[in-house]
Amino acid sequence: MNLQITGHHIEVTPALREYVENKLDPVLRHFDKVTGVGVVLSVEKLKQKAEVTVRVPGKDIHVEESGDDLYAAIDTLFDKLDRQVLKHKQKVQDHHRGGKTGLHAAD
């Protein structure tokens, strides 16, 4: 897996890099087919912004979050990303089962 962390108008310090990597670990444990991850941290006037793009076979999952505090934005960002990765994983698993879900699956 390829991980790229970049900063736009901000220096990505080793502490910030480690924080992002630690937040990313639980998300990657949910889905083992991740081919690449791109994280962009930026500052625009008074807003701190974090973006992440996770590349999985057949889809790119992109999430953005901004706020007054960069660490809080990163926390919220990875919460959103975790939900999207789990949703994508469930979709892929349902698709491979033949798509029989819902009330009439037992018929």
What are the sequence ranges of the domains in the chain?
2-95
Whole-number pLDDT of residue 90: 87
Q: What is the overall mean pLDDT for the chain?
A: 87
Structure tokens at 72: 């809080």
Give the per-residue pLDDT at 28.
85
Question: CATH number for the 2-95 domain, one of 3.30.160.100, 3.30.420.40, 3.30.950.10, 1.10.10.10?
Answer: 3.30.160.100
Distance of CA 79 to the CA centre of its chain: 8
- In this structure, of 27-36, 59-68, 96-105, the range with the lowest mean pLDDT score is 96-105
pLDDT in tens, 7-48: 999 999 999 999 999 999 998 888 778 899 999 999 988 899
Residue (of 84, 82, 76, 21) closest to 49 by Cα position: 76
